[in-house]
Chains A and B, each alone.
Chain A
Amino acid sequence: MVQQETIEQLKKLVAECLGAKLSAEQLDPDLPLMEAGLNLDSLALVNLIAAVEKEFAVEFGEGMLNLEVFANLRSLASAIIALRGAAQSQC
């Protein structure tokens, strides 16, 4: 299922952005990315956005750069799938 694969890929990216303080397996897809959960700092967040855009070949427009999309890995995966779907339908 595309959602699950995307989540697994995201776990690896986040683990890298966190400087391997957590292993990818330990990441819960429903854990908040911000203070209440993973507590990504400003730099880690910017790195994650850049890494996701590169890895998945998508671009987050301003409308997608919000706390709902980046609430947790599950919501982020859904957003990525939506962006890729939209991109493909334009071909």
Chain B
Amino acid sequence: MRISLETLPATRLPGRVLSDGRLTLEWSLAREPLRILDTFLTESGVVPHDPVALECPNSVPGALTLLALLSRGATVALLPLPGRMDLAQPPPRFLRQLLRVRSPHLAGPPSSLLEPATFLEVQPIQGHRPLPVDSPLRRGRLLLRTSGSLGTPKLVVHTHERLLDNARNAVERLGLDASDRVLLPVPAAHMFGLGAALLPALLVGASVELIEGTNLLRYLEHERKFRPTVSFLTPNLCAMLLRPRSTTVHYRHIVVAGDKLPPEAFEQTEAIFRRVLTLYGSTELGVICAMAAAEATASRRTTVGRPLPGVGLRLAARAETAALAGDCGELLCAHPFGFAGYVDDDGVPLSTEDTIADKWYKTRDLARLHPDGSLEILGRSDHATKRDGRLVMLSEVERALCRLPGVERAAVVLRGETSRGREMIAFVAIGAGDGAPADAMTLRTGCHDLLPAFAIPDEIRPTAALPMLASGKVDRLALFALAGVADAGRITAPHEQETHGPARDD
């Protein structure tokens, strides 16, 4: 089934809107703007059998452009908006044009949905190398970059059909229906915003409001005016919103994905948003697990719920989790609506043998399966190590560091071997302080109050800022280089590093 106006119930129900705080589009009136967009694309030389890149902000023009491309059955690569720092990667060369939708926050004349030139620019991609004429990649695919915190970034390929099936599979578990007003402060150009939020909301006929460049003030303003029933957040956004609040009775629940929500914050968050539903997914597999709205057990605070219908979970034994209670190991997932494969920037398929074995996808997350079937994520397997024989999750060390005065952000990487286990190097970004000293010595002393001895980093490096990726995640590859990890440019698969020691100079 194609993604088109006809398949979206929102367009047949009265009163359903797509908005972004500036523009509001009644879905029942979307036919005309979409037709105009389609004509504009054709006149700009965009043809359905040539794949394109789309820079898509969280705005009505952005969402409509994406919808117009999907309706044509085109292959679209969703690329992040140009970041605030460093060089954007050039777009993949097998794409013919780069479609840039203007950010709603840039100064200039207001966009009109009836005049695509006011929000959309079509640029030919330099050095374009067309795919073979019969390549299946030419049509019907949606491509997303992996966050690529290790190794070279690659493109994850989804077919339109499976992507829709993935979204449809999540609707019931997330408790979405046509009466919902869904607020989307996370990017629709990444799998969480697209696959767990925007597509399910559209499939069920809910109204959707998008926020671009979410910050506390924008979120509160949108919330005041739109009065959402459901919002999709990351734990960082939740933390930002935990302030004394006036009435928020319009919320039915929020859906939170990403790193773990600290258990202490759970009660506070539910006091504001009524209910927190945790969700676990990936760029490759879409939505994997989600908490059900009706779930009342204590495990709500620590787990991400049960797998969605048709999704299989398994654990592979790992040295790091051998000593832990319960059924633990590295999580493998068999998903009926997952990705079709990886390609590189020339559209050449990349091997999946490191990531899929006999339809079981290696998530590279360490996890515990509870007896009731719910899943608890312990952390990334490449963010875990054994020290003095004990399991250390690097994220726990990072969290502890962040609690020290003056610390804004922290990232821990592993380097080499010591007699105690892998060597831990902590990079700590020091923010605007109260004048509290934040040198390595002070930080180390602070660690002793917060962490067991075996979890204290071997080296602590205070710095002004951590290198970041456009996705908002820490650039761990850059940190490896800074830490002086041997041969950082040729990172082997994480589990190989663990069992065979540091990367070798071959």
Contacts and interface: CB of A to CB of B under 8 A. Distances in A.
Interface of A: 13, 16-17, 19, 34-36, 39-43, 45-47, 49, 51, 54, 61-62, 65-67, 70
Contact of A35 (B106, B220, B431, B432): B106
Given A35-B106, A65-B220, A66-B221, A19 B431 contact: yes
B105 A34 contact: yes
A24 to B, nearest CB: 12
B297 interface: no
A42 B220 contact: no
Given A47-B431, A47-B432, A19 B217 contact: no
B21 to A, nearest CB: 10
Contact of A42 (B107, B240, B246, B408): B240
Interface of B: 84, 103, 105-107, 213-218, 220-221, 240, 243-246, 408, 431-432, 434, 464-465
B107 A36 contact: yes
A41 B83 CA distance: 11
A70 B217 contact: yes
Contacts of B245: 62
B100 to A, nearest CB: 16
B217 A17 contact: no
For the complex, would chain B's binding face be called helix, strand, loop or mixed by DSSP majority?
Answer: loop
Contacts of A46: 215-216, 240
A42 B432 contact: no
A34 B84 CA distance: 12
Given A51-B432, A62-B220, A65-B220, A42 B105 contact: no
A35 B105 contact: yes
Those 10 A-B pairs whose CB atoms lie nearest each other, nearest first: A16-B432, A35-B105, A42-B215, A45-B215, A36-B107, A17-B432, A62-B246, A67-B217, A65-B220, A46-B240
B102 to A, nearest CB: 12
A32 to B, nearest CB: 9
B474 to A, nearest CB: 13
Given A41-B84, A43-B408, A65-B217, A19 B246 contact: no
Contacts of B105: 34-36
B464 A35 contact: no
A67 B220 CA distance: 10
A70 B84 CA distance: 20
Given A19-B432, A36-B106, A36-B107, A42 B216 contact: yes
A81 to B, nearest CB: 19
8 contacts: A19-B465, A35-B103, A45-B215, A45-B217, A47-B408, A65-B220, A66-B220, A67-B221
B235 to A, nearest CB: 13
B84 A39 contact: yes
A66 B84 contact: no
A67 B22 CA distance: 14
A65 B245 CA distance: 11
A45 B220 contact: no
A41 to B, nearest CB: 7
A24 B126 CA distance: 41
B464 A65 contact: no
Nearest to A50: B432
Contacts of B106: 35-36
Given A19-B432, A41-B84, A43-B408, A49 B220 contact: no
B221 to A, nearest CB: 6
Contacts of B216: 42, 45-46, 49, 65
A46 B106 CA distance: 21
Given A19-B432, A42-B240, A62-B245, A67 B218 contact: yes
A41 B215 contact: yes
B291 to A, nearest CB: 26
Nearest to B430: A19
Nearest to B215: A42
Contacts of B218: 67
Contacts of A36: 105-107
Contacts of A65: 216-217, 220
Nearest to A69: B217
